[in-house]
A and B are shown apart, each in its own frame.
Chain A
């Protein structure tokens, strides 16, 4: 009976292009905090070791500062073996981050980088076999070779591996994909007691054996992730297994496409924007389809401007955006325009009712006029 903490895909040094400097700093710091939280979790549950199934770093060429901060967090970990597996982001090639002096010099002694598949004795009768990635694009997943050499065991054997599994959805890199059948066969034949995987950022149980898991990334990194921000606490005996998902991250990604036709629809959008309790740690993306009056558009833009200042990031989902601006009678009444301005408005309305960039520009021009006249 052994208890472990299983995590992966820290991808330290990652930057998100939609984040500006301040939120990016927050994001980076929180991702380190999440890693620190994993250490505290292991302490809390009395784990015998911490398994990190690949992609500790976002790339082998991360900043020296990133390496030093990561090592600093590792030094705060409890004094139990911490096994780091080189993954496809940080493979064990000639430029490996794990061979850089700033890592080697400061890395605490209980942290071990698995550089080959020789078993690591985690506890009496508990061994961990790693399948480190030697290069970024190997011919096949190194785990397949390791599995082929493993015979049945009476003890507890954990395989620490990295890569996508063919039966699990997701737009992962197809390099080094693992066939689920091979993995499940290894479990069934008792060659492996637990398959600690990494690569997929959503916490996921793979297959039906109950012994193949992705812990997901400790903090979310993209909108598509299903259950990120987790670490797994795994309790493993000769004939039993229990896996618990524990929250370690605090960030949220959310995205939505809205169809709008009037003020009520706009209100739904504004409610959605207002929903998150922790907007500074929320990244949102939305797209609007449909038609808005100038007044509604002004309200929308004001709300979006406000949200952009409170959210960590607010992206326009341009792929799905299809919004037309048309002044309605209320807009015209509000603007009280007469004379030649009224004539100009008529012309712009006709232009905005069309499609393409000109229509968008005309809509923008009307909105600008509306703001100018009505004062937002």
Chain B
């Protein structure tokens, strides 16, 4: 495609502008050796920013893309600023061999006109015109690739990815003899891929639910079929079992009947033996009765004999007892006499014993009395001593109480005395001394006191305060102590007052009296100690009161004793006499005591003897009475028994009973023999066994019948389910599922194989035709960078790595400038290869980061590319492109 002219009206800030884009005279001249003569070349459209360069590019896009009726944002973005008139775009284009003028008005009074002038004239308008141009574009170039090849300012670094678009592939396939990735082939691959994705996931190639579900359904149905077959097998086993049991039942019933018959036979025999045993029992009972009757008779006869014998014996014993009683009564009387004489002897001895005891007691009391009196005298002496000592002590204590001076008081008095002496000395020292020496006799009156002096005699005074000295009649001298003695005077006065007070408290006149008082007090205190010691000695550890009480008690006891004493006997005159009397009395008493022993013993013995004789009499009397009663009873019993049967009659009855028993014993023996001969143990065991056999047979029959019933119940339960048809239905479903699964897998495998094979060959093909693109890119690159330039392309035919003078770098490692150059070179290489199949290569100011030296070389590249395709560069910096030779320059 070639763009010859573009006219805009009322588009954004442009009121009307026509840009001629056919290459200029330079282009024509230089392009003469190229492919397209004057129709190829480079156009540099220059203008300041916002001059409308981008508007040109956008307007061309809108014209070729949107119908005039479109309200798309791209369309609305073209709306004029400030004018109401709708945007109009008109382009003069060459598409293939078609030369045309194409114009559209958008948004208001919309319209499209198309005028084709070559190869044949054609006029269209409206949607028909739009569709005609669409068709021409689709026929001659790949719009998507064209769009991707455009390089805008904002995306200057991005490379085009021609590997994904078809235009390049189609173009390349025409240029080389390699099998190519044509439009049609890519469509086929897409369809194969989409078929493949029906069965497998696009990326991992994992089976999709369609396949998995089919597999799962087969597995599920197989399992269900197995389950139902198991139930069928169970049912079949039960059917077999029921048939087997049904066949077995008649035989089991026969066994039951036969066993029952045999058991009945054995029961009859058992009954016979039982009858024999009962007969034996009955006869044994009869024999027992005869034995009992005989024993009763024998008993009666024995009893009668015993009575007769007892009667004789008792009578004889009664006679013997009468004789013995007479003897015993006589002995009893003798024993009574012996006891009486023994008692009187004992009474005499006891009387004498009493008298001696009283005498001994009196002697003892006399001795006690005398001893008591002696003790009372001693006590009295001690009490008197104690009383005297107490008296002394009390006197001394009174003295002590009277004297107030002790060692401490005396010490304090002495101290006060010393203080008075000391202050006095100090006062004397401080006081003026007046000495008067008489030259003649003279009378002095000192403080009113007259003193007469003789010549040569002197008198002196210490003036404590003031001294009035009258000297005869001469006058009076008044002496006064100075101020310096006042303190000493005070101190002396205070000491004197304190001494006086202390003496008053001690109750003494002076210190000497105090010392005397102290000595008196010490004497009294010693007396107290001595008197107390004396008193304690007299009391000898007892209290004075106790002593008095004891004495009082002793005296009262003596008085009482004397008052009560028998006066027939004189009181001994001494303690010794009393002791002698006591010893004599005690000996007398002991002798009297001894004399009582023998008579006492004799009394006891006599009494015992009497008791014995008396007991014998009682015993004999009692026994005799009992025997008499017994005799009466025996007589009565005998009479009663004999009334029933006489003695000889009883003997005959006994004999008859003995015979009857003998006969019964014989019958029992015969029956027992008959029973033993029948062998009852064997008969019972046989009968028991037969019964057990019959029971076993019944049990087996019962079990079989029960089993059969149970089995039939199970058969009915399972058999009614229509298991066969269920199984067949499942098997059918499984067969269908398996067929479907197999078909699915077959189709899936085919789809995968087709897709994999196509994909592989597409890859190989792309690898092959990547070569021309790379060659072209390298050719341009070497124009820019010299022979050390090379590149590697990736699957999308973008530059992956670049080599420069032996150094390979990943695209991301390159500088911004290098990347923008590579992006430009890639597009130019692509467009170069596309040639007429390409569109217009529009660059929107693409080389902002390229240094001036490179710009010159790029100029050469652009010029070369321009010989194959139309290149329009929109720039605000025309200077960047001054190195492009033969370019048409359009200034906006």
Minimum C-beta distance from A94 to chain B (A): 3
Within 8 A of B (CB), among A304-354: 336-344, 347-348
Other-chain residue from B188, B712, B761 in contact with A347 (beta carbon distance below 8 A): B761
CB of B191 within 8 Å of the partner chain: yes
Within 8 A of A (CB), among B719-755: 719-726, 728-729, 731-732, 735-736, 746-747, 749-751, 753-754
Chain A binder among B235-243, B516-524, B821-829: B235-243
Q: Are B722 and A61 in contact (CB under 8 A)?
A: yes
CB of B249 within 8 Å of the partner chain: no
Q: Look across to chain B and name the residue whose beta carbon is closest to the beta carbon of A59.
A: B724
Q: Look across to chain A and name the residue whose beta carbon is closest to the beta carbon of B715.
A: A95
Q: How far is the CA of A343 from the CA of B753 in the complex (A)?
A: 14
Pick from A20, A102, A361, A362 the residue with the most CB of B within 10 Å: A361
Minimum C-beta distance from B438 to chain A (A): 185
Minimum C-beta distance from A241 to chain B (A): 37
Q: How far is the CA of A63 from the CA of B761 in the complex (A)?
A: 59
A94-B246 contact, Cβ under 8 Å, with A17-B735, A60-B719, A62-B724:
yes
Q: Which residues of B contact A368 (CB under 8 A)?
A: 192, 195, 747, 750-751, 754
CB of B850 within 8 Å of the partner chain: no
Minimum C-beta distance from A190 to chain B (A): 34
Q: Are A338 and B185 in contact (CB under 8 A)?
A: yes
Contact code string B174-211 (vs A, CB < 8 Å = 1, else 0): 00000111101100110110010000000000000000
Minimum C-beta distance from B243 to chain A (A): 5
Q: Which residues of A contact B753 (CB under 8 A)?
A: 348, 361-362, 364-365
Q: How far is the CA of A62 from the CA of B719 in the complex (A)?
A: 8
Q: How far is the CA of A360 from the CA of B192 in the complex (A)?
A: 18
Q: Are A340 and B235 in contact (CB under 8 A)?
A: no
Minimum C-beta distance from A348 to chain B (A): 6
Contact code string A42-79 (vs B, CB < 8 Å = 1, else 0): 00000000000000001111111110000000000000
Q: Which residues of B contact A134 (CB under 8 A)?
A: 243
How many A-B pairs with Cβ below 8 Å? 153
Within 8 A of A (CB), among B688-719: 711-712, 715, 718-719
CB of A19 within 8 Å of the partner chain: yes
A61-B185 contact, Cβ under 8 Å, with A348-B754, A364-B750:
no
Q: Which residues of B contact A340 (CB under 8 A)?
A: 179-181, 185, 758, 761-762, 764-765
Pick from A16, A63, A337 the residue with the most CB of B within 10 Å: A63
Number of interface residues of B (CB under 8 A): 54
CB of A112 within 8 Å of the partner chain: no
CB of B757 within 8 Å of the partner chain: yes
Number of interface residues of A (CB under 8 A): 47
Q: Look across to chain B and name the residue whose beta carbon is closest to the beta carbon of A102.
A: B720
Q: Which residues of B contact A19 (CB under 8 A)?
A: 732
Other-chain residue from B243, B754, B765 in contact with A339 (beta carbon distance below 8 A): B765
Q: How far is the CA of A134 from the CA of B760 in the complex (A)?
A: 68
Q: Are A94 and B754 in contact (CB under 8 A)?
A: no
Q: Are B182 and A60 in contact (CB under 8 A)?
A: no
CB of A147 within 8 Å of the partner chain: no
Q: Which residues of B contact A64 (CB under 8 A)?
A: 720, 722
CB of B600 within 8 Å of the partner chain: no
Q: How far is the CA of A316 from the CA of B190 in the complex (A)?
A: 32
Other-chain residue from A58, A95, A365 in contact with B751 (beta carbon distance below 8 A): A365
Q: Which residues of B contact A342 (CB under 8 A)?
A: 179
Q: Are A63 and B725 in contact (CB under 8 A)?
A: yes
Minimum C-beta distance from A185 to chain B (A): 30
Q: How far is the CA of A134 from the CA of B718 in the complex (A)?
A: 20
Within 8 A of A (CB), among B772-824: none
Apart from A339-B173, A348-B753, A373-B188, 6 more pairs, CB < 8 Å = A13-B722, A20-B736, A60-B719, A95-B238, A339-B765, A368-B195
The residues of B with any CB-CB pair to A shorter than 8 Å are: 173, 179-182, 184-185, 188-189, 191-192, 195, 232, 235-236, 238-243, 246, 711-712, 715, 718-726, 728-729, 731-732, 735-736, 746-747, 749-751, 753-754, 757-758, 760-762, 764-765
19 contacts between A and B (CB under 8 A): A15-B729, A20-B736, A58-B725, A61-B722, A61-B724, A93-B240, A94-B246, A94-B715, A135-B240, A339-B184, A340-B765, A343-B179, A343-B764, A344-B758, A347-B761, A364-B747, A369-B192, A372-B188, A372-B191
Chain A to chain B: the 7 pairs with minimum beta-carbon distance, closest first: A94-B242, A364-B750, A63-B722, A59-B724, A340-B761, A61-B724, A15-B728
